[in-house]
């Protein structure tokens, strides 16, 4: 190991300025590692760093990727850490006041910050990290002609075969817990037996001869982040997948704002403890050590369709003052979109129909007619919707699947990449089709008056387009088709 990269944000304070002021006044500053609760404690990397620092100072890369990107090289003269538990700063006076009393897993003593361009940063520290981790080990080869960093992306486009059909079953906003409107087991209600939600959905799929290739769950599995309610969410999904005779790898799950609940949290981005319950749930559901909430899944159907799902987290925090708004962050998806281009090198790929779906929770364009934000209920469009639309139109995303406001919805949008890019002005892009399935499980009192029914979506590719159906129902009302139609099939474009 030659160095480290630390990711930081300006969610609470202008980070570099806060630390530089102390260097100017005192000559050095202690910088805390704001390790996320779910992130691995990198004891071996810290030990190697401390050993190097007994002989010389080193430069550590610092990168901020929220909003305006920033890159720095920091001269490090000391490193302190414990056995994994947070420890106090080695010197309160040499630590910015906004977190000087908070114990953290590791502390680095810096004596200088040197601003870098992205090119300079990559020349010194290698590729800018795009993953969830906040600490990366940097190692050059002996000739310093190549560099690697740990952790690395583990994206995979290996197809998963779907033998039963071509359709996507889209469910969202289940809200298990106090806002869930269905029994979690069969229960008597008046003169009829009220069925659990998985039975209602599975029976509708069977009765309509729908062959499901993939199940998409676009967030808000529970209500207000209650960790105990994931037990019911897990039982629901397990039973639904069993009813559909599908392995769990055919289920695509992303978090919603209720899954990553932040209301009442003062500084959610210090440790990201609010993500722990959802992360534990997906690890348990897939029986895998999942560390990234952004991922790729490729389902291959017998009819010749490759359904590619780009799973994204739209419940990220941009800054403390805007913590209740949706936000995706371009660096969290741009490398995924670039990686998608590797599919063109596969033998026989030209014979497949590629359909690419971005899946997240919040809205990309307005759904309601008028929306007035409040402190607790901000406008539901993600803060970076402009960036997202621009990147998706240029990045071979054909469709967006989301939930959030409990309203079934279909629309389209297009945005040219850059005014200065002549290729975009000649119409190189294609419109982005956007589909929301409404709320599949919330209690009736939480449904908008304009809909007044729970819903799930079924999307089936065919030669004439992507068939879209919304099924509406209530605990005592059998599912019927609320709306049906077609949107164009994606024209997958080789760059």
Instruction: Please give the pLDDT value at position 288.
Output: 93
Helix, strand, coil percentages, rounded to 5, for the chain: 25, 30, 45
pLDDT in tens, 222-248: 999 999 999 999 999 999 999 999 999
Select from 36, 330, 332 the least CA-distant residue to 155: 332
Q: Quick one: pLDDT at residue 187?
A: 59
The answer to whether the Cα torsion of 275, 137, 8, 385 is positive or negative is negative
Distance CA 469, CA 77 (A): 61
State how far the Cα of 159 lies from the Cα of 215, in Å rounded to an integer: 16
Token pair of 392, please? 């998706």
Q: Can you give the pLDDT at residue 495?
A: 58
Regions of the chain short of the pLDDT cut 70: 186-193, 416-429, 494-495
Kindly report the pTM of this predicted structure: 0.93
CA nearest 118: which of 69, 58, 76? Answer: 69
Quote the DSSP letter at residue 170.
E
* Residue 221: CB atoms within 10 Å: 31
- Integer Cα distance of 254 and 231 in angstroms: 17
CA 296 from chain center: how many Å?
A: 11
Pairing of strands 106-115, 29-32: antiparallel
Strands in 135-140's sheet, in edge-to-edge order, are 29-32, 106-115, 70-81, 58-64, 3-8, 135-140, 147-150
CB contact at 8 A, 248 and 234: no
What residues contact 486, with CB distance under 8 A and at least 6 apart?
464, 465, 466, 467, 468
**pLDDT tens digits for 133-158?**
999 999 988 887 788 889 988 898 99
pLDDT value, residue 494: 65
Strand partners, 301: 162
d(CA 242, CA 245): 5
């Amino acid at each position: 190991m030659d160095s480290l990269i630390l990711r930081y944000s300006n969610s609470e304070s202008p980070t570099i300025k806060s630390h530089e002021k102390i260097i100017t006044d005192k000559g050095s500053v202690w910088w805390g590692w704001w390790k996320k609760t779910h992130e691995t404690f990198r004891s071996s990397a810290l030990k190697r760093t401390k050993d190097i620092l007994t002989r010389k100072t080193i430069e550590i890369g610092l990168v901020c990727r929220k909003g305006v990107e920033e890159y720095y090289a920091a001269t490090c003269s000391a490193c302190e850490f414990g056995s994994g538990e947070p420890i106090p700063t080695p010197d309160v006076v040499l630590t910015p006041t906004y977190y000087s009393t908070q114990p953290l897993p590791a502390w680095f003593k810096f004596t200088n910050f040197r601003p870098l361009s992205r090119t300079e940063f990559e020349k010194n520290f290698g590729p800018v990290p795009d993953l969830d981790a906040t600490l990366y080990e940097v190692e050059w080869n002996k000739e310093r002609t190549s560099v690697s960093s740990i952790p690395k992306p583990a994206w995979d486009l290996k197809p998963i075969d779907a033998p039963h059909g071509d359709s996507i079953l889209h469910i969202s906003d289940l809200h298990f817990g106090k806002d869930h409107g269905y029994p979690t087991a069969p229960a008597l209600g008046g003169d009829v037996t009220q069925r659990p939600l998985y039975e209602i959905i599975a029976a509708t799929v069977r009765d309509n001869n729908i062959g499901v290739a993939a199940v998409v769950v676009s967030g808000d599995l529970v209500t207000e982040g209650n960790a105990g309610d994931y037990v019911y969410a897990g039982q629901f999904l397990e039973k639904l997948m069993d009813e559909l005779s599908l392995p769990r790898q055919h289920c695509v799950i992303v978090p919603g704002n209720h899954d990553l609940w932040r209301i009442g949290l003062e500084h959610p981005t210090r440790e990201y403890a609010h993500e722990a319950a959802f992360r534990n749930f997906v690890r348990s559901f897939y029986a895998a050590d999942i560390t990234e909430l952004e991922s790729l899944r490729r389902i291959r159907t017998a009819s010749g369709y490759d359904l590619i799902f780009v799973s994204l987290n739209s419940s990220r925090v941009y800054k403390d003052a805007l913590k209740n708004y949706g936000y995706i962050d371009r660096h969290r998806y741009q490398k995924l979109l670039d990686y998608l281009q590797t599919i063109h090198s596969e033998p026989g790929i030209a014979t497949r129909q590629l359909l690419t779906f971005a899946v997240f929770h919040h809205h990309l364009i307005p759904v309601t007619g008028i929306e007035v934000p409040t402190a607790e209920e901000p406008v539901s469009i993600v803060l970076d919707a402009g960036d997202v639309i621009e990147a998706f139109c240029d990045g071979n995303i054909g469709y967006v699947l989301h939930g959030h406001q409990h309203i079934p919805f279909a629309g389209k949008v297009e945005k040219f990449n850059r005014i200065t890019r002549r290729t975009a002005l000649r119409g190189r892009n294609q419109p982005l089709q956007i589909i929301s399935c409404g709320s599949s499980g919330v209690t009736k009192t939480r449904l908008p008056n304009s809909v007044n029914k729970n819903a799930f979506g079924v999307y089936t590719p065919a030669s004439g387009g992507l068939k879209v159906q919304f099924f509406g129902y209530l605990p005592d009302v059998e599912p019927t088709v609320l709306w049906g139609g077609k949107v164009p099939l994606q024209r997958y474009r080789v760059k």
